[in-house]
Amino acid sequence: MLNIHKVAEEAGVSVATVSRVINNQGTVAKKTQEKVEKVISRLNYEPNMLGRNLRNSESRLIMVLVPTISNPFYAQIVQGIEDIVRKENYNVFLCTTDSEPEREKVFLDYVRQKLTDGVIFMDPAVEVEMLQDLANRYPVIQCCEYNEDLNIPYISIDDTQASYKAVKHLITMGHEKIAIINSDETFQYARNRKKGYLKALEEYGLPIKDEWILKNSELNFEAGQNSMRKLLRADDKPTAIFAVSDILAIGALKRMNEEGLQAPEDIAVVGFDNIPFASMTNPALTTIAQPMYEIGSQAAKMLFQKINTPDEPVSSTLLDNELIIRESTLG
Amino acid sequence: MLNIHKVAEEAGVSVATVSRVINNQGTVAKKTQEKVEKVISRLNYEPNMLGRNLRNSESRLIMVLVPTISNPFYAQIVQGIEDIVRKENYNVFLCTTDSEPEREKVFLDYVRQKLTDGVIFMDPAVEVEMLQDLANRYPVIQCCEYNEDLNIPYISIDDTQASYKAVKHLITMGHEKIAIINSDETFQYARNRKKGYLKALEEYGLPIKDEWILKNSELNFEAGQNSMRKLLRADDKPTAIFAVSDILAIGALKRMNEEGLQAPEDIAVVGFDNIPFASMTNPALTTIAQPMYEIGSQAAKMLFQKINTPDEPVSSTLLDNELIIRESTLG
DNA sequence: ATAATTGATGTAACGGTTTACATAAATTAA
DNA sequence: TTAATTTATGTAAACCGTTACATCAATTAT
């Protein structure tokens, strides 16, 4: 086994001296230092991180829990996280949970088990008590999806206000029959976006119909296509659609295209997130831009607050969002 | 500190007994077991993974190094990896390198430092000697991007043959002026795809022009758009384009769209990868489908071969690929 | 020349877990 | 009843690195 003892032995010094050289604390005589360094590079020695972290009870590792990486939405957020984390000389381990509680649990245990120093959690599906319990003892930040009943700092946007804005835009464009393609309402964001949708319709006295309110348990193109298929078969066809995710909106646009329909002439479509691909579609997609990078970097900053001053409370934030108007709603 | 000693003390047993209960080895008397379990759940104890892994010199953790998660191409591969890895009762840590050698190095050190049991490496930019050295001592698999001069197992596709197929398709459709939008030729795949492109042109005696051969250091929509802008300004405009990535192809399509041009009528476009978005564009994109899920799951299987039988050689594989013909080339 | 200070290095405990081996108690065999 | 075996539990070393404290040598001060 190649370890610090072996190096010490080869160099004819004690392990303490080797350790001092590795963590260059400057208290080692020059020639001893050189001697040790020579042995280290000759043997190709790397300190074992388990031993080191165990001793230091610190890993300088952050875990980021995402449901999936197939939605580019997360890519930008992770970029924001990475940039801050690296600046602090930490590194990021990204873990995908598929929103499965058991998988989330396994990864969260890594925090309890001291493998990582903290966690940024998007889209938690795990039981709330267990999450709260974890957050009481370790640094945890909720990012994007959150539960405000918990005493865990979160960073997100005001989904209700954002979707209200999106739907109001459709109303301003003259639409009166507006459908929503939503995801699973177990998610807070889905409930909030529906709330904003309903609020806008009520405010303008527009009809609310069950057949215009669709839910999807999966969030992918196919779900968007399926939802659009259903809407095109509705007794009373909507003239505009608000999809709570660009992915769903793009699937919907595709379905229209397959049926020979045009956006916005036949049906206008608004998405949500402003993933890079949203501007690449034809027609380009009107959408709510979340400040993804900013969300990520803020989340990381909040996490470091918790790590560095565990006893001081970290305040939660809702960031601004922006309606990006493109061809899919512009007559 | 809450540790196994504390639990042992509270339960009035030795640490060995607690350890046996945790790893339920069945050699503990029923009532002792219950007593210990009660204490464990009362104190909310979780074994420290650093201590455990240090002792066992095993982490049951796999590191996957990707340049970025913003290209959905990687999402599918990672899915393939995850499914196998979980089946083996391991977990995946995903790390993004931005193809920066220093970042790659930091993560690779985690393997040396025993934090993870192996690595699947896509798109290595790190110095080859260091990678080879790592692979000599730890389980490493090259995935997608690879260097065949190294003695490190790889899984990928035959890029030369695939791009030859793509370009031949364009030729079959009657095109004689065919451009390539490539990425950085420091990458093996980029060199191979160019090779296939040239081979097809040569075989059919078609012209090869410098102004039809474009390179991009970044691989994103903007790069695709920029390349297309250049091609549209060429003295001799191509009638067909082979892009070595769907992302580039989609950017190129967008640029055409902005200029009021249609694919394939004005210029035909072929992409590479068959990311989910590729079928969502309008027109839908003709592309080379890489068996992404399969690549990922194979990579994981190969890694476990290395982990479980370190001394037996693992053979490298090139998987089949398929040309998916869609609207962007179909007159 | 002696005492006091500085500098370089070593010793050993500690962080948390697992497990070979030892021991004690309980059971079975003779 | 005694010896042999089985079962349950405990002791202590091992995994690897860090660091407070101790030690010794060398330098500086008096």
Q: Could you tell me the CA-to-CA distances from B327 to B237, B242, B287 in Å, in that order? A: 21, 14, 10
pLDDT band, residue B228 (cuts 50/70/90): very high
Residue A331 has pLDDT above 80, yes or no: no
Give the pLDDT of residue B85: 97
pLDDT in tens, A127-137: 899 999 999 99
Question: Which nt is closest to the CA of A26, judged by C1'?
Answer: C8
Q: How far apart are CA B214 and CA B234, in angstroms?
A: 11
Model pLDDT, residue A218: 92
Q: Which residue is nearest to nucleotide D6 (CA to C1')?
A: B27
d(CA B15, CA B275): 52
pLDDT at res. B3: 94
Q: Answer for B32: CB within 7 Å of strand C.
A: no
Measured CA to C1', the nucleotide nearest B14 is D10
Q: Which of residues 43-82 of A touch strand C (CB under 7 A)?
A: 51, 54-55, 57
The CATH number of the domain covering residues in B59-157+292-319: 3.40.50.2300
Q: Measured between CA atoms, how close is A177 to chain B, in angstroms? A: 26
Answer whether residue B26 shows pLDDT above 80: no
Residue-averaged pLDDT of chain B: 95
Closest CA to B174 of B330, B9, B16, B2: B330
- Report residue A117's pLDDT band, with 50, 70 and 90 as the boundaries: very high
- Asked if B59-157+292-319 and B159-290 have one fold, the answer is yes
CATH class belonging to A59-156+292-319: alpha beta
Mean pLDDT of chain A: 95
To test the contact with chain A by mutation, choose from B93, B134, B138 the residue with the greatest count of A C-beta atoms within 10 A, namely B93
pLDDT at A253 over 90: yes
User: How much is the pLDDT for A134?
Assistant: 93
pLDDT band of residue B1 (cuts 50, 70, 90) is confident
pLDDT at B295 over 80: yes
Contacts of A228 in chain B (CB under 8 A): none
* Partners of residue A44 in chain B, C-beta under 8 Å: 133
Per DSSP, the residues of B45-81 read ----HHHHHHHHT---EEEEEES-SSSHHHHHHHHHH
Task: Please report the beta strands in chain A, taking only residues with DSSP state E, as ranges in sequence order.
Answer: 61-66, 91-96, 118-122, 140-143, 154-157, 178-181, 213-214, 240-243, 268-273, 286-289, 317-319, 322-324
Q: What is the pLDDT of residues B76-117, one digit of tens each?
A: 999 999 999 999 999 999 999 999 999 999 999 999 988 999
Q: Do A54 and B50 touch (CB under 8 A)?
A: yes
In this structure, what are the phi and psi dihedrals at residue B161, rounded to the nearest 5 degrees? -65, -40
Those residues whose C-beta lies under 8 Å from the C-beta of residue A173, and which sit 6 or more positions away, are: A240, A264, A268, A329, A330, A331
Contact A257 B114 (CB under 8 A): no
Scan for tokens 């995710």, then name that residue.
A245
What is the per-residue pLDDT across B158-183, written as a single tens digit (0 to 9) for each? Answer: 999 999 999 999 999 999 999 999 99
Minimum distance, in Å, between the CA of residue A293 and any CA atom of chain B: 13
Interface test with B, best of A107, A115, A131, A228 (most B CBs within 10 A): A115
Q: What fold does the segment set B4-47 form as a domain?
A: 434 Repressor (Amino-terminal Domain) (1.10.260)
Q: What is the pLDDT of residue B263?
A: 86
Question: In CATH, what number does A159-290 get?
Answer: 3.40.50.2300
> Using the beta-carbon criterion (under 8 Å), do A254 and B74 form an inter-chain contact?
no
- Domain range summary for chain A, segments of one domain joined by +: 4-47, 59-156+292-319, 159-290
The number of angstroms, rounded, from the C-alpha of A28 to the middle of its chain's C-alpha atoms is 46
Which of B46, B75, B253 comes nearest A70 by C-beta?
Answer: B75
Among A302-306, B125-129, B133-137, the range scoring the smallest mean pLDDT is: B125-129
